[in-house]
Amino acid sequence: MNKEEKIKMIVTGIKALALIVGAVGVFIYADAYAKSTALNSPAITITGIGKVIAKPDVARFSYSIKTEGGKDITKSKKDNDDRSNKIVAFLKKQGVPKEDIKTTGYSMEPRYQSYACGNRGVVSIGLATSGGSAGAPTFGLAEPQPCPPADIVGYSFNNTVEVTVRDFEQKNLGTLLSGVVTNGANNVSQLRFELDDPAGARLLAKAEAIAKAKIEAKRLAKESGISLGRILAIDEYGSPIPMYAKSLGLGMGGDAMVAESAPAIEAGSQEIEVTVNVRYALK
């Protein structure tokens, strides 16, 4: 290929690239123009609200195991691990799969000897005299006492676990809550009921919201004598909110407080609300 042919190929490539860039530019402009026209054209926006009442099918709660031991870290850790394993074994026996038992926090902290250091207050150092008789007592500050170096006297371990319970009515949620305490948990909290997959319920609520918006749009069009065109946009708002049960106090205060019986737990129902704004063009 000679020099002239190479130049022709380069020029041809540049022309082709220019055509492509020009076509893309026209497309972008046309799209932007269409959107601008749609926004500036006569239109009406109608709001519709859809609600769906759904029964939660998943319960979640957290429990924690806090143990305090001596200076032997291995022994202190083993005490916490033994309790944790005992609770997990209990949950599995009750039909909770290991995939639904998730550690959300684990910590180890040293415990230090506490000392009463610093200025210990005021002390009497004598009596004032006046004319040979005793007067009012006088006081002075004690000498500051230096604080000895902090000594580690032991270690604390804390393990926090979240449990997901499916088919909680069949598994008896109250028995699970009491069981984790009797098997070694110090605290049970954050019990909540949710929909495992709220997408289906949201779609139903959205469909209801759009249907209501359409009905309202037709009513307004009829009363005002206008003609509805195509739908220009649909904006959606709203999200499901988990329902929380009353706060639990099982196991709080250490091992001394243990649930004596399984608490009665009611999941109730959950309302999912979706709001849509439907924008119609006017003919």
145: in domain: yes
75: in domain: no
Residue 179 C-alpha from the chain's centroid = 25
Q: Are 43 and 230 in contact (CB under 8 A)?
A: no
15: in domain: no
Strands, E assignment, the chain? 43-54, 58-69, 101-112, 122-130, 133-141, 152-166, 187-194, 228-237, 243-244, 270-282
Enter the tokens of residue 41. Answer: 């054209």
96: in domain: no
Looking at residue 196, its pLDDT comes to: 83
Where residue 172 falls among pLDDT bands split at 50, 70, 90? confident
For residue range 257-279, list pLDDT tens digits in order: 444 556 666 777 788 899 999 99
Residue where the block lists tokens 């799209």? 31
Mean pLDDT of the chain: 78
Looking at residue 167, its pLDDT comes to: 83
In the chain, the number of structural domains is 1
Three-state DSSP at 192 gives strand
130: in domain: yes
Looking at residue 213, its pLDDT comes to: 94
Looking at residue 100, its pLDDT comes to: 95
Q: String of b and e for 205-227 (b: at least 16 CB within 10 Å)? A: bbebbbebbbeebeeebeeeeee
For residue range 205-237, list pLDDT tens digits in order: 999 999 999 999 999 999 988 889 999 999 998
Cβ-based neighbours of 144, under 8 Å, separated by 6 or more: 118, 119
**Mean predicted confidence (pLDDT) in 182-204:** 89
Helices (H), 100-232: 168-171, 173-182, 199-224
Sheet holding 187-194, edge to edge: 101-112, 152-166, 58-69, 187-194, 243-244
Q: Are 253 and 188 in contact (CB under 8 A)?
A: no
For residue range 28-40, list pLDDT tens digits in order: 544 554 455 455 6
Residue 157's identity, in one-letter code, is F
Q: Are 158 and 83 in contact (CB under 8 A)?
A: no
136: in domain: yes
245: in domain: no
Looking at residue 135, its pLDDT comes to: 59
| E strand or H helix that includes residue 88 | helix 73-93
Q: Are 59 and 193 in contact (CB under 8 A)?
A: yes
Predicted structure pTM score? 0.60
Residue 125: domain span: 114-149
Query: For residues 80 and 69, what is the distance between their CA atoms, to the nearest angstrom?
Result: 9
Residue 257 C-alpha from the chain's centroid = 28
137: in domain: yes
Q: String of b and e for 68-93 (b: at least 16 CB within 10 Å)? A: bbeeeeeebbebbeebbebbbebbee
